[in-house]
Amino acid sequence: MPQELQAALPLATLSGQATLKFWGLALYQASLWVTPGFVAAAYDQYPFALTLDYLRDFKGLDIARRSISEMRHQMPLDAAQQARWEGQLRALFPDVTSGDRITGVHLPGTGAQFWYNGRLLGDIRDSSFAKLFFGIWLAPQTSEPQLRLELLARAGPVARGTATP
């Protein structure tokens, strides 16, 4: 368990891990840490953490943009909301190099907290943001349904959703 989770989610256990690949290139390894009683279909109602261990270098700006693009797979975002969330992500996410880790902690009813290599980056206090952000990996509408299934492997029954075009 990553150091930043030991205090925040001491009872969390590893649900699953998966490597995201694009055109055969490994981009990051994702690990999902869930608390007792976690239900995949209602992920936004439980505390959990998602850790991304980067296997390539990325600009924080590109991570923020891609995050917003993936959030739009789940539902349309109005321009003002999209701009606000993208600005918050840009302010939080640093450039990463291979070996760096970003951890997002879901705080039900509150939002999300972000860590970089064990150091607190900050939070976004918006539960709608948190549901869509973590939905990038956990929602049935994810663009990576196999990765979702691997992350939720030990989290109990998982509804098999389909990705949106």
Per residue in 87-142, pLDDT (tens digit) is 999 999 999 999 999 999 999 999 999 999 999 999 999 999 999 999 999 999 99
Report whether pLDDT(3) > 90.
no
Whether residue 110 is contained in a domain is answered as yes
Amino acid at 6: Q
Whether the model clears a pTM of 0.75, i.e. scores above it, the answer is yes
Are 47 and 108 in contact by the 8 Å Cβ rule? The answer is yes
List 83's β-bridge partners, or say none. none
* DSSP 3-state percent helix, strand, coil across the chain (nearest 5): 35, 30, 35
Domain count within the chain = 1
Specify whether the CB–CB gap between 62 and 41 falls below 8 A: no
Contact 148, 15 (CB under 8 A): no
Domain membership of residue 12 as a residue range: 3-151
Confirm whether 161 is domain-assigned: no
User: What CATH number is attached to the domain comprising 140?
Assistant: 3.50.70.10
Q: Give 112: exposed, middle or buried? Use CB within 10 Å, 0-12, 13-18, 19+.
A: buried
> Does residue 22 fall inside a structural domain?
yes
pLDDT value of position 156: 60
One-letter identity of residue 17: Q
165 in a structural domain: no
In the predicted model, is pLDDT for residue 159 greater than 60? no
